[in-house]
Chain A
Amino acid sequence: MNAYIQLDNVGMQFNTKRGPFIALREVDLHIQKGEFVSIIGHSGCGKSTVLNLVAGLLDATSGTLLCAGREIRGPGPDRAVVFQNHSLLPWLTCTGNVLLAVEQVFGDKESKAQMLERAHAALELVHLTHANDKFPHEISGGMKQRVGIARALAMEPKALLMDEPFGALDALTRAHLQDELMSICAATQSTVIMVTHDVDEAVLLSDRIVMMTNGPSATVGEILHVELPRPRERLQLADDAAYNHYRHEVLTFLYEKHHKTAA
């Protein structure tokens, strides 16, 4: 069976002023439809580079990348990105931000009213109906990130790519949004690739955790299958032996096998 998103022998080399820098080498990653995959690793391991390659924001220097059987050439609305710093346009309302994405995907097929409905539905999915007409500067950081997720979901993408989506949020807001993301993924059966440096987040949300070795020339070190039943409850999992075993596995990988002295 062919994977939905497929990376084969992908390498990435940046040409810097001090000569070529090999960020990634021989990255192989097959992701199935509906799967939630986290990429974890120390900073500088190229985990965001992997995501940007799938997003099409970067072009791989070697190897092949496929999405739904087609080669990835440049960015496209079939792979929606949720950025770490929300990246909402400050001159558009929440609805306006989501609508910009909706128009791009459904503009030639649907009426304005239908698209507006889609935008509102996406905002409802992230529980932000009350903020439809607010501007980004009028809402909190957590709400902005939810609008970012709504914008991505509204495009009905083949894959949702999240680059440390909750990294800039406080712990309570982060936990809340993680729970929301789980229920959204359960409802929409989304295929998700999420970059994170948070071990608990990775174990709680993922079907598989891709652990990267340290850069330069980083690659996939190990892949951990998280076989915890869904829906998952963070409170119950706190004392769960299996959960703590997975957590321990990731921590061992990060701090024993690939320990990185503080940069």
Chain B
Amino acid sequence: MSTLNPTAERFKAIALGTVPPAIGLGLFILVWALVSASTPTIPTPGATFVSAVELFSDPFYNKGPNDMGIGWNILASLERVAIGFGLAALIGIPLGFIIGRFRFFNDMLAPIISLLRPVSPLAWLPIGLLVLQKAEPAAIWVIFISSIWPMIINTAVGVTRVPQDYMNVARVLNLSEWKIVTRILLPATLPYVMTGVRLAIGVAWLVIVAAEMLTGGIGIGFWIWDEWNNLDVAHIIIAIFVVGIIGLLLEVLLTQLAKRFDYDAR
């Protein structure tokens, strides 16, 4: 097939990039349609689509705290994730630096981290409710605790993986600790930090739905629970798609951001 002209080559490349995903998506909808045909409580893809159009035609209505548009619910969830995740970054990244740079702190904190990291984030919710007294900060606390581990661990690993060559340069030049951190460690570990950030936002977005189901208020998680109580299954399916798409967007956004900081890839 080497006789193909450039236009045909490009067309082929585009086709190869779009046809398999389209087939996959088509099969998914087909299975969904079959399931909904045999189970009357599951709405069909068509009915769900109609419901979604209706839902997103007015995403920002506000009829009191218990009845707000889906847009408000998504924004409320994103806000919680942003605060919890931001606090985790603020504490986790510097902590990772200290652990990676100083053997003493690594030996001191490694057992605690190994012990607490595998704990399900939701197990922390009662502690949050107890200490913080309110549902809202407790949900943020759960996001914080779930997203801090990947950031600590990846940053610490990044610091220990800084090539010895760079550290030799630092030693020969007699760089101060401040300059070692700002001119060498920070840029050299940034790709690792970004990996930690990406993993953390993934976890945070996973956890927010469950946390909100338990705490209530507004937010996409509670909205799903609310629609379950209303027995509006179409809305639940829409919410699943919304959560998936937003998670995907966050992932893509951070991958793009990470690429800009990766000096090895250039």
Contact = CB atoms under 8 A, between A and B. Distances in A.
B171 A75 contact: yes
B261 to A, nearest CB: 9
B175 interface: yes
A100 B173 contact: yes
Contacts, number: 48
Q: Which of B169, B172, B263, B266 has most A Cβ within 10 Å?
A: B172
Interface string B153-176: 000000000000110110111110
B184 interface: yes
Contacts of B10: none
B263 A90 contact: yes
A75 B174 CA distance: 7
A-side interface size class: 20 to 34
B168 A87 contact: yes
A81 B171 CA distance: 10
A61 interface: no
Nearest to B164: A87
Contacts of A79: 172
A155 B172 CA distance: 11
A20 to B, nearest CB: 23
Contact of A85 (B165, B171, B173, B266): B165
Contact of A76 (B174, B188, B263): B174
Q: Which of B171, B173, B188 has most A Cβ within 10 Å?
A: B173
Interface string A59-77: 0000000000000001111
A155 B175 CA distance: 13
B184 A104 contact: no
Contacts of B171: 56-57, 74-75
Nearest to A80: B172
B174 A77 contact: yes
Contacts of B188: 91
B165 A87 contact: yes
Contact of A89 (B172, B184, B264, B266): B184
B183 interface: yes
A109 to B, nearest CB: 15
Interface string A213-233: 000000000000000000000
B173 A101 contact: yes
B187 interface: yes
B266 A57 contact: no
Interface string B251-266: 0000000000001101
B165 A91 contact: no
Interface string A79-108: 111010101011110000000110010000
A119 interface: no
A253 interface: no
A100 B266 contact: no
A83 B167 CA distance: 12
Given A75-B174, A77-B173, A104-B174, A83 B168 contact: yes
Contacts of B175: 100, 104
A205 interface: no
Interface in B58-101: none
Contact of B187 (A77, A85, A87, A89): A89
Interface of B: 165-166, 168-169, 171-175, 183-184, 187-188, 263-264, 266
5 nearest A-B residue pairs (beta carbon): A91-B187, A87-B165, A90-B263, A104-B173, A75-B171
Given A79-B172, A101-B173, 7 more contacts: A55-B172, A57-B168, A57-B172, A76-B174, A81-B172, A87-B166, A104-B173
